[in-house]
Amino acid sequence: MSRPTKSEKKRIVVFCEGESEQAYMRFLKEKFGEVATFKWPKAPGLFEEADRKFKKDKTYSDYAEVINEIWFFFDVETKDIDSWDARMKIIKRLRSLRKKPGIKVRLLMTTGCMEYWLMLHYEMYVPPIQTVTQKQRVMERLRTKEPNYQKGDTAVTAKIAENYPTAVTNAKQTISNLLQQGLPGIEDTDERNHWLCQKCLTFSTVYEAIEFLTSL
């Protein structure tokens, strides 16, 4: 199979909640650089940052004509439940920056903390992850697998991320498990994503980005 040319590569703009997500994105950029190009701001920021960039920064607004996807890489927490309507308004605006085809907006969501997504690279488990104590337990468990892990450490994150096939399998199972809790479907839809953000049960959808990249 011939490799995609630069003009055939998918162009993806990513907005990350924090340094841990940025470290993981650096791994994806290195791993899948032959099939996709990635662009993200130096400083972390999510929906409001994306809205501002595409309204006021010409390096983003002028890029809209060639973007294939916009990703938001973030934690789902109970404190953000009331933010859905405002976020959805921004998502709809971003989709409409270009017509036929529109821009795909993908939500890479993980309950509670990024470290849960990283733990899924090793094993399947579904603890509650909302309180500070619960998040700390996930961090401690991750460090039993990779003692040198620190938030934003590119090298250690890349070492963990090499196990992404296992993470994809485990994360897909976390979503499938929620069908019994009332999840309206496993496909990436606004209805599903709204439900996930409202219920804040344990899951990760980051696997969808990796399945997309591997499909290329």
What is the average pLDDT across 99-115? 94
- Over 60: is that where the pLDDT of 114 sits? yes
pLDDT tens-digit series, residues 40-85: 999 999 999 999 999 999 999 888 999 999 999 999 999 999 999 9
Confidence of residue 6 (pLDDT cuts 50, 70, 90): low
What pLDDT score was predicted for residue 8? 84
Distance of alpha carbon 49 from the chain centroid: 16
**What local confidence, expressed as pLDDT, does residue 5 receive?**
52
At residue 2, does pLDDT exceed 80? no
Which of 148, 154, 125 shows the shortest CA–CA distance to 137?
125
Checking if the pLDDT of 3 tops 50, the result is no
* Residue with more model confidence, 101 or 214: 214
State the DSSP string of 93-125. Answer: HHHTTS-SSPPEEEEEEEES-HHHHHHTTT---
pLDDT > 70 fraction of the chain, expressed in percent and rounded: 97
Write the DSSP symbol of residue 120: T
Q: Confidence band (pLDDT; 50, 70, 90) for 88?
A: very high
Q: Which amino acid is at 103?
A: I
Domain ranges of the chain: 6-215
Determine the residue type at 178.
L
Could you tell me which residues come within 8 angstroms of residue 85 by beta carbon, excluding any fewer than 6 positions away? Answer: none
The β-bridge partners of 105 are 70
Q: Which two tokens stand for residue 166?
A: 């296992």
Encoding tokens for residue 140?
């401690």
pLDDT at 7: 58
- Written as one letter, the residue type at 211 is E
| 0.85 surpassed by pTM | yes
pLDDT in tens, 177-193: 999 999 999 999 999 99
Q: So what's the pLDDT on residue 36?
A: 96
pLDDT at 200 over 90: yes
pLDDT digits (tens, 9 = 90+) for 132-171: 999 999 999 999 999 999 999 999 999 999 999 999 999 9
Please enumerate in sequence order all residues whose Cβ is within 8 A of that of 48, keeping only pairs 6 or more positions apart, or say none: 90
97 three-state secondary structure:
coil
**Mean predicted lDDT score pLDDT of the chain:** 94
